[in-house]
Structure 1
Amino acid sequence: MLIRWGRLQPTIWAVITLLATVTAADAAGDAAAKPSEFILLAQIALLIAVGRGLGELMQRIGQPSVIGELLAGLLLGPSLFGWLWPSAHSVVFPPSGEQKALIDGIAQFGILLLLLLTGMDTDLKLVRKVGRAAATISVAGIAVPFVCGFTLGEFLPDSLLPHPEARLIASLFLGTALSISSVKIVAVVVREMNFMRRNVGQIIVASAIIDDTIGWIIIAVIFSLASRGTLDVVSVAQALFGTLVFLAVSFTIGRRLVFRLIRWANDNLVSSAAVITVILLLMSVMAMITHLIGVHTVLGAFIAGVLVGESPILTRQIDERLRGLISSLFMPVFFGLAGLAADLTVLRDPQLLLLTAALILIASIGKFGGAFVGGALGGLTRPESYALASGMNARGSTEVIIATIGLSMGVLSQTMFSMIVTMAILTTMAMPPMLRSALARLPLGKDEKERLEREEVEQRGFVANLERLLLAVDESNNAKFAAHVVGLLAGGRGLPITVLHVGANAKLQEKNRADEESPEAAVINAAEASARASAEADGGRDDNVDVISRAREETAAEAIAEEARKGFDLLVVGIDAVAGPDGGFDRRIDELTSGFDGPLAIAAAKGVHEREPTANARKILVPVSGSNVSRRGAEVAIALARLSAEPLQVVYVSTTRDKGARRSSPSMSLAPEEAILKDIAATAARYDINVATRLRASTAPEVAILQEITASRADLVVVGVDRIQGDSLNFGSVAAAVLGKSKASVLLVSDGDVRPKT
């Protein structure tokens, strides 16, 4: 009984809210006679309360929350509330144009925000990853239902068209509406079934993304046609040309500009909501640009969302705040109003009911059949094609947005709008159980299993989760070496690098005055060159390299502490003096790192890197012991070894602390030492990096590492170290010994946790 009460609570509260709103609105007297702020607030409160309440109820029974928000509008509109209690409905939702314009303005802005959110969920990397199969599926999945929808539009009775003389535009619009899928609904179900990383799951989501993108472009062009009223070849060409130019500029100059604006807001503005403000401004400006070139504003908002979603420094906190605002306010208001605009009482007419059933049947057969055929042409098996077709048939929120645009453009009549909303609700509710059933029957192949295991390991990795790198340098050769290391780490994934110049001592400043190139520029150039080389080695684009230089008026330690609050994942320090007189670190390194609590890397250029700081290390050595910190060092070494000429040297060393360390490798049936080496070798093999392994378990770790440096003739040794709690920076005796006695360059990589001194 308690469970039933818990599930009914949202509905009961919605009914109480409705009655309270009607009573208060009625008590307002003449509020319905003129535009009223009270009525507006009452409408928003009612739509949020009922929409979110029913959305919660839908989620509890395995349906998307948007269905509850649509049903809230249907229940509050002429389909139920207005039919059962017309006088109360006219009080809460007065028919006057002035009052409707108030909440319609919020809904119109809500459309742009929903398209912004849709764009942010659009993963272009996923599309590129499975592009060929997804493109084939999308072409068939769009073409077949488009032809069905266009044909249906040509045979619709004139009574269902607001402008029968413009039937061509209505047919084009209906064809587009029937061919599109809801990325959001599809992605939610695929993710819920843990299929997002499966081959078929990626193809389903990528196909939905392509469908959405093409659909919004077509809608934008149709809007241009509708605004002119006739099919003019010149106007169509202008709309298409303007759209193509807009897309080209957006994904070249626009992408860089969006990244820099978000980065500038994050780094320079004090307010916590500054980045959200910039995102909303970007969305508004791009929406206005598409309006000026003669296409719909939704295209600008959608592309803005795509660019914002690709920003490398869009923090989780900012993303969640923006989504929270849209989900809690604008979604229930917009979809509630869409439900209010639909009048399902018209379906009491048997002819209209049959037409609605035909619309749903044609839409489902067209989309299901087109996607199924596309899956077969794209190389999918029959079960995979069935799963794909099941997922692509959901129209969801996307269909409602399109229908609302069509209604506002005058392409759809009120009755046709109600029919399309009904189709969107029924196809969306049918999709989750169909897709869950189809996905549950798909077996896991050997190759796919190996890929999933590899990706799961990478997701837990340190390097794979880096997003922003902070480089603190002076004007020394060691600074250039540190910049070279950072560039290699960042280039493959296009990570942004912030270079913070912390000054140099007087001797270095005097030496550098004779140089033709400024020391600051030399460091930046070193980082950029290495990042481009790394990107090319990974088969990526070298134009994704993003390095900026910052000079602060505060002291170096204060500047780093200030930067640390902006969300950096790794601080790399490269200054002239590394080791101190007492065997620890130089006093300046202590000062620089005192305000940074995250992972650190201290670079010390020796040997070949003293003479040529940006030279690629010919041989890289990494000691491992089975601990998390040694694993982190191995990941960094693997990332740096992509441009190395020789195999990566991995040596096992034992430490007292690492004995009994928890090991999760599947190869632990071997001797622990051999299993650890095999695990690192397997990780390196995923990146096509050869590995040479050695066991030195019976020797003191610092001695073993130094002996192996000499024996292997390594140019660089990467050591994963613990950060020990104390008054000064301390990585332990092993790190101090290697740093002081190694003839090869040293990179010490620590985690962000401070271990108590033992």
Structure 2
Amino acid sequence: MEIIEPLGHHELFLVIAQLTVLLLVARTLGELFRSHGQPAVVGELLAGVLLGPSVLGLFAPGVYEALFVVSEDQFHLLEVISWLGLVMLLIVTGIETDIDLIISKGRTAIVLSVGGIVVPFASGFALGWFLPAAFIAAPEQRIVFSLFIATAMSISAIPVIAKVLIELDVIRRDIGQLILAAGMVDDTIGWILLATVAGLARTGVLDIGSAAATIVSVVVFLGLAFTIGRRLTADLLRWVDNAVGSDTAVLSTVMLLALAAGAITQYVGLEAILGAFVVGVLVGQVKRFDYDLRHAFEVVTLSIFAPIFFAIAGLRMDVAGLVDPTVFAVFLVVLGVACFGKFAGIMGVAPLAGLSRWEGITIGGGMNARGAMEIIVATIGLGAGILTTEMYSIIVAIAIVTSLMAPAIMRWSIPKIEMSDEERDRMERETYLQQSFVENLTRILLPTRGGTDTQYAARLLGPLVRDRDIELDLLCVREPVDGPHGTSTGILGRMRNGRFVRRWRGRRESNATVVTGETDRVFSSVERHLGDPERTPRRITRRRDGSVAETILEEVDVGYDLVVLGETGAGRSPEESLFSDTVDRVVQEAPAPAMIVSTPPAMRLNPPADWAEESLDRILLPTVGTESSRFAAELAFSIAARENALVEVVHVVDAPPFDDRFAGDPDLSQQRRIGEQIVEREAELGRRLGATVLTTVTTSERPEAELVERADRTGADVIVMGSYVRPISRRAYLGSRVEYVIRNASCPVAVLTSI
């Protein structure tokens, strides 16, 4: 087998130097434009023009030639990196695409696509038919040339449009989604036309069969992607997240999927960007790929790879070729026809699509951008012998100019588009979902020994995970083979997921584990309280390694969003420790929020056979307006909405003790007004989540006692509270009031701790 020689020293140096200069100039100009209120993509495109033959080649020809006048093979190295940036940018675009919104506005998108492709194609064909023969590489093939110009006029630059929409922060608005939908349809049709025209140029015969095969390939690929591919993508990301528990592994999987899909679409004669975009759409629908992961991927793409892609696209522009008066005149004519075609097409169908004039201008301005797509078209035309060098320069110039026009037009027109109530509600809902605690839960861990408290915790988790893409895992810790009595001291450790995990060795924890053979009974005793026989949680069995707490913490460290702990050992008097050693340790050190569920002694002595059969009619929700209270409120409302339960939101104003009052009753009206604002804010969230809500603001010298008494008076089935963990004297401390409620309430208490 012949061994391929590695890249030479000079070739490697040159590509690194090229990337350094391109990224430096692109990011510098991008930030400069951003600081003046313009999208960074404008500066990134101009960076290529600045470094190309038009500027650098004119004023510093030696530097330009040393850097960019290279062999085709050398320049192809840059192109590969450019395509990598394009693939990543299309993934980001797909992630930001709301496929449900596009489907709901399908008729509008189709009408816009027809206008955006038919008029530019017709005007482009007419232009090609009447252009001077000097601009046609093969004058005898004018019909092929005209078809090619028509196709070039129909193309839109989705990457440029997407980056502008992202930078203007309107990609999630209806207008942004419509532009993306119409642009993708136009580009798909455009690539089919391009493949057909290129085949016609090569053979001289219009190949209907190739065009039909391309159309079938698009339909089949999209059909498989949004059926089998949707399920495969979700299952694969879930498996990687479960098996590895690493953000880097999930991001790598997304990139691998996009590259594989791009390779498939490229192989069947479509463009790689179609596969990357579709993968982005599918990944955007997977809950495991949460906001933090999206943001991380977007930051790397938009700060490194996308600027390099746009700079390389601008590098192909040679303004000097347009100095000739005839060439410049033809450039102006072609530019006018290109802009007219897109604007006339979109503006003509906008009323039919039910859009306003400003919406038509915005969509026309966005879809008028040609960008790198047009440059690719021009390159194909030059290689196929359709375009002359002058015509190639004209089309590349149009790609740059129209891409520079788009941000200015959209920035001017978008503020004039009024947001409908429906769109405003959707945007507010999306903002809530990004910040929501419950909606961003993907994995919950419930360690269990089969006790009453974990059984009741399962009762609360049942309605929470029902009909949601949340994975619930049950963890049972078994005794080691050498028995439960071995002890040791000291701190050991090992690497887990790239981090050092401590293993504390200390006193033995009695009754904290189960023996081998009992795990099935433990799991079954918890599962029957979930109330959903069709949904079976994942069972995890771990052998105790050191303390039970350490075993639980090692499992939580894999990547859980919430750990739920049933507390059977809660002390009932202030002299006793509130939590067992295991719960205390897990609450303090877990890298995720914890929910502690505690049932009163009477319920532990006489628990029902099946908690799921016990109705959950009333939830008491104390709140003080903090983030932890907000998260607990989400939890309570989500459970109540599925149980048709009433949630009483209570804020207790802390009145000074009688002995501390100097003259009469204190004026607490201001505190009560603040309390009313707090409970009303929480109630508004509850109504939005579909729960029945009652608000109460009361005053008491002992708010914690008032909460316990109110739960008794109103017959509350459970109290849900939020709290922060405060480490005091090597134990978890939730605050005196929360601990009082846990110790004295006659109903179960669930406390959600924030980290």
**TM-score w.r.t. structure 2 length?**
0.76
Measure, in 1, the Cα distance between the counterparts of 2:438 and 2:515. Answer: 38
The answer to whether the Cα contact below 8 Å between 2:265 and 2:271 also exists between their aligned partners in 1 is yes
The answer to whether the Cα contact below 8 Å between 1:407 and 1:414 also exists between their aligned partners in 2 is yes
1:357-396 aligned within 5 A: 357-396=332-371
Residues 213 and 652 (structure 1), Cα distance of their counterparts in 2 relative to 1, 3 Å cut: same
Please give the secondary structure, in 2, of the residue aligned with 1:653: strand
Match for residue 472 of structure 1? 446
In the TM superposition, residue 718 of structure 1 has moved relative to its aligned partner by 1.5
In the TM superposition, residue 181 of structure 1 has moved relative to its aligned partner by 7.8
Asked whether 1:651 is paired with 2:650, we answer yes
The answer to whether the Cα contact below 8 Å between 1:601 and 1:749 also exists between their aligned partners in 2 is yes
Match for residue 682 of structure 1? 684
Please give the secondary structure, in 2, of the residue aligned with 1:725: strand
In the TM superposition, residue 603 of structure 1 has moved relative to its aligned partner by 2.7
In the TM superposition, residue 210 of structure 1 has moved relative to its aligned partner by 0.8
Which AA in structure 2 matches 1:170? F
Measure, in 2, the Cα distance between the counterparts of 1:670 and 1:392. Answer: 54
Please give the secondary structure, in 1, of the residue aligned with 2:720: strand
Match for residue 603 of structure 1? 597
Measure, in 2, the Cα distance between the counterparts of 1:728 and 1:167. Answer: 79
Q: 2:11 aligns with which of 24, 36, 39?
A: 36
Which AA in structure 2 matches 1:626? V
Please give the secondary structure, in 2, of the residue aligned with 1:376: coil
Please give the secondary structure, in 1, of the residue aligned with 2:725: strand
Please give the secondary structure, in 2, of the residue aligned with 1:111: helix
Q: 1:207 aligns with which of 172, 175, 178?
A: 178
1:503-518 aligned within 5 A: none
Measure, in 1, the Cα distance between the counterparts of 2:680 and 2:297. Answer: 44
Residues 276-332 of structure 1, C-alpha deviations (whole Å, 9 max, x = no match): 433332222222222333322222222233334444344666556544554455444
Residues 86 and 691 (structure 1), Cα distance of their counterparts in 2 relative to 1, 3 Å cut: closer
Measure, in 2, the Cα distance between the counterparts of 1:133 and 1:221. Answer: 22
Please give the secondary structure, in 1, of the residue aligned with 2:97: coil
Measure, in 2, the Cα distance between the counterparts of 1:360 and 1:616. Answer: 72
Measure, in 2, the Cα distance between the counterparts of 1:580 and 1:65. Answer: 60
Measure, in 2, the Cα distance between the counterparts of 1:228 and 1:381. Answer: 40
Measure, in 2, the Cα distance between the counterparts of 1:357 and 1:521. Answer: 76
Q: 1:592 aligns with which of 586, 589, 600?
A: 586
Measure, in 1, the Cα distance between the counterparts of 2:207 and 2:456. Answer: 61
In the TM superposition, residue 231 of structure 1 has moved relative to its aligned partner by 4.4
Which AA in structure 2 matches 1:603? V
Asked whether 1:612 is paired with 2:610, we answer yes
Measure, in 2, the Cα distance between the counterparts of 1:324 and 1:651. Answer: 41
Match for residue 190 of structure 1? 168
Residues 652-689 of structure 1, C-alpha deviations (whole Å, 9 max, x = no match): 434479xxxxxxxxx98984444433333322222343
Which AA in structure 2 matches 1:244? V
In the TM superposition, residue 142 of structure 1 has moved relative to its aligned partner by 4.7
Measure, in 1, the Cα distance between the counterparts of 2:387 and 2:470. Answer: 46
Which AA in structure 1 matches 2:725? R
Measure, in 2, the Cα distance between the counterparts of 1:451 and 1:111. Answer: 29
Residues 245 and 547 (structure 1), Cα distance of their counterparts in 2 relative to 1, 3 Å cut: farther
In the TM superposition, residue 613 of structure 1 has moved relative to its aligned partner by 3.4
Measure, in 1, the Cα distance between the counterparts of 2:511 and 2:262. Answer: 53
Match for residue 624 of structure 1? 622
The answer to whether the Cα contact below 8 Å between 2:549 and 2:583 also exists between their aligned partners in 1 is no
Total equivalences in the alignment: 689
Measure, in 2, the Cα distance between the counterparts of 1:419 and 1:744. Answer: 77
Match for residue 337 of structure 1? 312
Asked whether 1:243 is paired with 2:218, we answer yes
Q: 1:177 aligns with which of 145, 152, 155?
A: 155
The answer to whether the Cα contact below 8 Å between 2:244 and 2:558 also exists between their aligned partners in 1 is no
Residues 10-68 of structure 1, C-alpha deviations (whole Å, 9 max, x = no match): xxxxxxxxxxxxxxxxxxxxxxx998334333333333333333333333333333333
Match for residue 570 of structure 1? 562
Q: 1:124 aligns with which of 99, 107, 112?
A: 99
Asked whether 1:64 is paired with 2:58, we answer no
Measure, in 2, the Cα distance between the counterparts of 1:450 and 1:285. Answer: 37
1:207-286 aligned within 5 A: 207-219=178-190, 221-222=192-193, 225=196, 229=200, 231-266=206-241, 268-269=243-244, 273-286=248-261
Measure, in 2, the Cα distance between the counterparts of 1:440 and 1:99. Answer: 45
Residues 350-394 of structure 1, C-alpha deviations (whole Å, 9 max, x = no match): 443233223332333333344445543343444444445444444
Worse-matched range after superposition: 117-126 or 403-412: 403-412
Measure, in 2, the Cα distance between the counterparts of 1:403 and 1:523. Answer: 65
Measure, in 1, the Cα distance between the counterparts of 2:579 and 2:335. Answer: 72
Which AA in structure 1 matches 2:444? L
Residues 201-224 of structure 1, C-alpha deviations (whole Å, 9 max, x = no match): x12210122134324533554565
Which AA in structure 1 matches 2:151? F
Residues 694 and 85 (structure 1), Cα distance of their counterparts in 2 relative to 1, 3 Å cut: closer
Measure, in 1, the Cα distance between the counterparts of 2:198 and 2:612. Answer: 59
Match for residue 579 of structure 1? 570
The answer to whether the Cα contact below 8 Å between 2:113 and 2:185 also exists between their aligned partners in 1 is no
Measure, in 1, the Cα distance between the counterparts of 2:531 and 2:127. Answer: 56
Asked whether 1:750 is paired with 2:725, we answer no
Match for residue 731 of structure 1? 734
The answer to whether the Cα contact below 8 Å between 2:598 and 2:748 also exists between their aligned partners in 1 is yes
Which AA in structure 1 matches 2:184? T
Measure, in 2, the Cα distance between the counterparts of 1:168 and 1:424. Answer: 18
- Which segments of 5 or more consecutive residues in structure 2 lack a partner in the other structure? 1-7, 480-509, 657-668
Match for residue 663 of structure 2? none
In the TM superposition, residue 697 of structure 1 has moved relative to its aligned partner by 2.8
- Percent of residue pairs identical: 30
The answer to whether the Cα contact below 8 Å between 2:124 and 2:153 also exists between their aligned partners in 1 is yes
Which AA in structure 1 matches 2:30? G
Asked whether 1:635 is paired with 2:606, we answer no
Residues 237 and 436 (structure 1), Cα distance of their counterparts in 2 relative to 1, 3 Å cut: closer
1:391-430 aligned within 5 A: 391-396=366-371, 399-400=374-375, 414-430=389-405
In the TM superposition, residue 551 of structure 1 has moved relative to its aligned partner by 4.6
The answer to whether the Cα contact below 8 Å between 2:122 and 2:150 also exists between their aligned partners in 1 is no
Measure, in 1, the Cα distance between the counterparts of 2:120 and 2:531. Answer: 48
Residues 139 and 474 (structure 1), Cα distance of their counterparts in 2 relative to 1, 3 Å cut: farther
In the TM superposition, residue 254 of structure 1 has moved relative to its aligned partner by 2.7
What is the RMSD computed on CA atoms of the aligned residues?
Answer: 4.5
User: Could you say which structure has the larger radius of gyration?
Assistant: 2
The answer to whether the Cα contact below 8 Å between 1:473 and 1:503 also exists between their aligned partners in 2 is no
The answer to whether the Cα contact below 8 Å between 2:157 and 2:374 also exists between their aligned partners in 1 is no
Measure, in 1, the Cα distance between the counterparts of 2:723 and 2:133. Answer: 76
Residues 520-579 of structure 1, C-alpha deviations (whole Å, 9 max, x = no match): 4786797794998xxxxxxxxxxxxx975555556453354345555544322347x353
Measure, in 1, the Cα distance between the counterparts of 2:274 and 2:54. Answer: 32
- Which segments of 5 or more consecutive residues in structure 1 lack a partner in the other structure? 1-32, 533-545, 658-666, 753-758
Please give the secondary structure, in 2, of the residue aligned with 1:107: helix
Measure, in 2, the Cα distance between the counterparts of 1:624 and 1:313. Answer: 31
Measure, in 2, the Cα distance between the counterparts of 1:564 and 1:472. Answer: 10
Which AA in structure 2 matches 1:561? L
Measure, in 2, the Cα distance between the counterparts of 1:511 and 1:744. Answer: 33
1:540-579 aligned within 5 A: 550-552=540-542, 555=545, 556-565=548-557, 568-574=560-566, 577=568, 579=570
The answer to whether the Cα contact below 8 Å between 1:146 and 1:178 also exists between their aligned partners in 2 is no
Q: 1:436 aligns with which of 407, 411, 414?
A: 411
Worse-matched range after superposition: 611-620 or 315-324: 315-324
Residues 334 and 745 (structure 1), Cα distance of their counterparts in 2 relative to 1, 3 Å cut: same
In the TM superposition, residue 227 of structure 1 has moved relative to its aligned partner by 7.0
**TM-score w.r.t. structure 1 length?**
0.76
Residues 74 and 242 (structure 1), Cα distance of their counterparts in 2 relative to 1, 3 Å cut: same
Residues 267 and 417 (structure 1), Cα distance of their counterparts in 2 relative to 1, 3 Å cut: farther
Which AA in structure 2 matches 1:653? V
Measure, in 2, the Cα distance between the counterparts of 1:609 and 1:645. Answer: 23
Higher helix share: 1
Residues 507 and 214 (structure 1), Cα distance of their counterparts in 2 relative to 1, 3 Å cut: same
Please give the secondary structure, in 2, of the residue aligned with 1:697: strand
